[in-house]
Amino acid sequence: MSAGHGTTTGPLPVGQFAQLIQHTVKNDPMFQHQALAGEVSQWSVHNGNIYFTLRDDVGQMSCVIWRSARLNIDPAIKVGSEVIIIGSLDLWPKRGNLQLVVSKIQPVQTLGALEETKRQLIETLRDEGALEMPSRPLPSLPKHIAIVTGAGSAALSDMKRLIENRWPSMRTTVIGVLVQGEHAPRELVRGLAITRDLARPEVAQRLGLPPVDAVIVGRGGGSPEDLWAFNLEPVVRAIMASPVPIISAVGHEQDHLVSDLVADVRASTPSNAIERLVPDRHGVLMLMDDLDQRLDASVQRRLQELRQQLALLTSQLKHAPGKGVYRAKDVLNALGGRLTRSVDAGLARQQQRLATLQATLQAAHPKRVLERGYTMIQDDKGRVLTAAASLQQGQTVNLQFADGRAAADIHTIEPEEDQP
């Protein structure tokens, strides 16, 4: 407004001046949707509208939250609370007061205040006995793992790489969520609710999958504020509600969160969670093969021993010495005969059962090994060759595959050096 304007038209009516200010502040981005921090004072409610003052050591502004804005207001906010608001400056010409129309308000959680909330939650959980709940063991062979973690995060990449190394065909459902920021708690809770559904047999059956039998919830490292969702009650309660064993895998080794206290297992990192849950496939298959072979060999050996014992007993009875002990010898002979017959009958019956079982095993097992890509090598006399040292240059060997045989000539022999 120039001085000339004033002189040509006379004094400006004050109402118009107020309107001019209103027009100016409402059209200047500097005064609209500003994030402001301060302390709440004089909090009051009239007709559903909330009036308060935002102040600090230097100044203060009147604020209003219109009823029509329907804001979610943290019940913890009271006079004296440190808050952050989003406010737009306005002036009501009839009263001439500048005020901030608030479109968002939230308490400032200083780390100290956060720690206090965490401490209170731990205390509540302790009072409930939730911290003494026995940990459920992780399945040694999971059929379906659910992972709730940051979509596209580095932690997820690490976990996927480890699964690939340990058990590439492990059935895994990853649910990508936000793990930090305002929406993280809600998304984690939703993600965990899905894992509970996936653990229900009827849901799993409809999807044609085995039910989820273990859950990992977590994220990679970050600042304490970044990890804070895992200290919040809704997330902690969702972890406690898991019907199957659940691993909390948040941040790094040194980070301790409430989620760690209520989960069945605390993993130091997301990668550590995979190491603890996903078995090494190669090792598991080796163990199975080993048990298979030992079962077979031990039974064969025991049967051989029993046969020899029987033969010895029979021969001892037949050649029992002594004249004058005919009576005793007759009795022994009779007993021996009965024993031989009953043992023979029992043995024949059991051997038949054994033969059937052995046929099943033998038909299945070596072939299974061959089908996995192993080959059995025999010399021309049919002896199995297991050492490179037993080979000779130019020797012809037979290769036994799952589906047939082949002959091959040895042209290079390279025995492996002894390990230091």
Give the bridge partners for 401, in sequence order. Answer: 404
Closer Cβ to another protein, 70 or 353, answer by number: 353
Asked whether the beta carbons of 144 and 204 are under 8 A apart, the reply is yes
Interface with another protein in residues 188-217 (CB under 8 A): 190-191, 194, 197-198, 203, 206-207, 209-210
Q: Is 131 helix (H, G, I), strand (E, B) or coil?
A: helix
Interface with another protein in residues 29-68 (CB under 8 A): none
Residue 169 touching another protein (CB under 8 A): yes
Name the packing angle between helices 154-166 and 270-277 (round to 10°): 20
Q: Cα–Cα–Cα angle for 204, 208, 210, nearest 5°?
A: 50
Cβ neighbourhood burial of 70 (10 Å; 0-12, 13-18, 19+): exposed
CB of 369 to another protein, least distance (A): 12
Closer Cβ to another protein, 114 or 354, answer by number: 354
Interface with another protein in residues 322-361 (CB under 8 A): 346-347, 350, 353-354, 357, 360-361
Residue 303 touching another protein (CB under 8 A): yes
Asked whether the beta carbons of 332 and 316 are under 8 A apart, the reply is no
- Where are the strands (E) in 209-318, listed by range? 214-219, 246-250, 265-267
CB of 191 to another protein, least distance (A): 6
Residue 276 touching another protein (CB under 8 A): no
Interface with another protein in residues 146-165 (CB under 8 A): 151, 160, 163
User: Which residues, in sequence order, are CB contacts of 61 under 8 Å at separation 6+?
Assistant: 36, 38, 53, 54, 55, 87, 98, 99, 100
Closer Cβ to another protein, 130 or 347, answer by number: 347
Question: Cα separation of 43 and 282, whole Å?
Answer: 67
Question: Any idea which residue has 């459920």 for tokens?
Answer: 136
Question: Any idea which residue has 């731990």 for tokens?
Answer: 122
**φ, ψ for residue 35, nearest 5 deg:** -85, 125
Interface with another protein in residues 209-268 (CB under 8 A): 209-210
Which amino acid appears at position 100 of this protein? L
Question: Cα separation of 122 and 178, whole Å?
Answer: 24
Q: Is 45 helix (H, G, I), strand (E, B) or coil?
A: strand
User: Which residues, in sequence order, are CB contacts of 327 under 8 Å at separation 6+?
Assistant: none
Q: Which of 12, 14, 287, 328 binds another protein (CB under 8 A)?
A: 287
Residue 305 touching another protein (CB under 8 A): yes
Closer Cβ to another protein, 13 or 201, answer by number: 201
CB of 159 to another protein, least distance (A): 10
Q: Which of 52, 64, 91, 142 binds another protein (CB under 8 A)?
A: 142
CB of 237 to another protein, least distance (A): 18
Interface with another protein in residues 112-141 (CB under 8 A): 139-141
Closer Cβ to another protein, 4 or 201, answer by number: 201
DSSP 8-state symbol, 89? E
Question: Cα separation of 125 and 239, whole Å?
Answer: 13
Closer Cβ to another protein, 131 or 357, answer by number: 357
Residue 288 touching another protein (CB under 8 A): yes
In the numeric block, which tokens belong to residue 299?
């039974």
CB of 279 to another protein, least distance (A): 9
Q: Which of 91, 99, 118, 187 binds another protein (CB under 8 A)?
A: 187
Closer Cβ to another protein, 2 or 140, answer by number: 140
Size of the chain in residues? 420
For another protein (CB under 8 A), the number of binding residues is: 53
Question: Any idea which residue has 């509970």 for tokens?
Answer: 196
Residue 312 touching another protein (CB under 8 A): no
CB of 387 to another protein, least distance (A): 25
CB of 210 to another protein, least distance (A): 7
Q: Which of 78, 119, 252, 301 binds another protein (CB under 8 A)?
A: 301
Among the listed residues 112, 101, 196, 100, the one whose alpha carbon sits nearest the alpha carbon of residue 148: 196
- Binding residues (CB under 8 A) for another protein: these are 139-144, 151, 160, 163, 167, 169-177, 187, 190-191, 194, 197-198, 203, 206-207, 209-210, 284-285, 287-288, 291-292, 294-295, 298-299, 301-303, 305-306, 346-347, 350, 353-354, 357, 360-361
